[in-house]
């Protein structure tokens, strides 16, 4: 019995050590999980994500687009053996003043798994202060594995309004045989100014 208890205590202590950050590096430093030691934490040291967190809304007549941007901190990725801060995003679009939705991925509570959200970014480039570029998935229109983007850029001298631009990949888009041709359209408007709620 003592051996079983000691074995369990050893396993729990090893597991907790394995999931404790040992090294901390700033996000957007050009390093990948292959460049660092196990249990390195890619941390948003300068809080570059914080200004983007929240609910952002665009309205035009009866059209309403809402983005909910969330920061996830110290998420452990066992396959890469690193911790990471990142942002996820969800959105909704209504053409009747919010009574019904053409698309709505906003849920409560928010799922922190980056692959289960239509928007994701791990970096705000310090060279482009005030610009945050998310990978964007139009959940209605199948774009295959194409890398679409949603760029959020603060308007000059503002922390409450941003220009949002949604774009298809630059350059030609390849499709496998039998797949439908690439659809360049999006379900939601692609050029709008959003205001923080």
Q: Are strands 23-26 and 40-43 parallel, antiparallel or unpaired?
A: parallel
| DSSP H helical ranges for the chain | 2-18
Residue 171, pLDDT score = 75
Residue in the structure block whose two tokens are 């360049």: 184
Domain count, the chain: 1
Q: Which domain holds residue 165?
A: 2-196
Digit-by-digit pLDDT tens for the chain (197 residues) are 555 444 444 444 444 445 788 899 998 888 888 899 999 999 999 999 999 999 999 999 999 999 999 999 999 999 999 999 999 999 999 999 999 999 999 998 889 999 999 999 998 865 556 789 999 999 999 887 778 999 999 999 999 999 999 999 987 776 667 777 888 999 999 999 999 99
CA distance 55 to 53: 7
| pLDDT at residue 124, as a whole number | 80
Q: How far apart, in whole angstroms, are the C-alpha atoms of residue 177 and residue 143?
A: 15
Q: Is the peptide bond before 8 cis (omega within 30 degrees of 0)?
A: no
Q: What is the DSSP string of 161-195?
A: EEEEEEEPPSS-----TTSPPP----SS-SEEEEE
Check residue 187 and give its pLDDT: 97
The terminus-to-terminus CA distance of the chain in angstroms comes to 58
Query: What is residue 1's predicted lDDT score, i.e. its pLDDT?
Result: 52
pTM over 0.95: no
Residue 68, classed as helix, strand or coil, is strand
Per-residue pLDDT at 189? 98
Residue 143 confidence (pLDDT): 85
């Amino acid at each position: 019995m003592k051996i079983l208890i000691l074995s369990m205590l050893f396993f729990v202590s090893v597991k907790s050590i394995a999931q404790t950050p040992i090294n901390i590096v700033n996000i957007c430093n050009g390093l990948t999980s292959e460049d660092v030691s196990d249990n390195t934490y890619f941390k948003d040291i300068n809080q570059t994500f914080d200004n983007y967190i929240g609910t952002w809304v665009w309205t035009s007549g009866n059209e309403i687009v809402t983005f909910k941007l969330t920061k996830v901190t110290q998420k452990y990725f066992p396959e890469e053996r690193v911790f990471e801060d990142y942002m996820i995003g969800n959105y909704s679009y209504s053409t009747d003043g919010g009574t019904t939705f053409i698309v709505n991925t906003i849920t409560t509570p928010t799922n922190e798994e980056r692959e289960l959200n239509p928007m994701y970014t791990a970096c705000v480039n310090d060279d482009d202060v005030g610009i945050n570029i998310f990978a964007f998935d139009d959940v209605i229109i199948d774009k295959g594995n194409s890398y679409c983007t949603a760029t959020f850029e603060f308007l000059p001298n503002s922390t409450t309004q941003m220009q949002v631009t949604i774009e298809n990949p630059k350059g030609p888009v390849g499709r496998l045989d039998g797949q439908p041709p690439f659809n360049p359209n999006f379900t939601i408007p692609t050029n709008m100014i959003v205001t923080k709620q």
